[in-house]
Structure 1
Amino acid sequence: MGRDHRPSYDQQRPDVFTQALGAAKRTLDPALILNPGVLLELR
């Protein structure tokens, strides 16, 4: 996965998975500095 594939990935993944992935990302990387914007757009 990478930035080039993210638009199609955003359309294909279920919302519940997006929420779970976002929660894990915020827990493991609270400053959101690791791979920003690659899998999710978090702020």
Structure 2
Amino acid sequence: MMSSMLVAMKAIIASVKAVPSLLMLNFYNLRFTTIPNKPF
């Protein structure tokens, strides 16, 4: 029982950590495609 809860918590933490990085990747891709001359 405890091990399954630990696995669930690890999965939730991993997904929470993955969301901001995916958002940043989408944001940078959007900027690179819209303004190729000024990436920043």
TM-score when scaled to structure 2?
A: 0.40
Q: Which has the higher contact order (CA 8 A, sep 6+)?
A: 1
* TM-score (norm: length of structure 1): 0.37
Structure with greater Cα Rg: 2
Structure with the bigger percentage of helix: 2
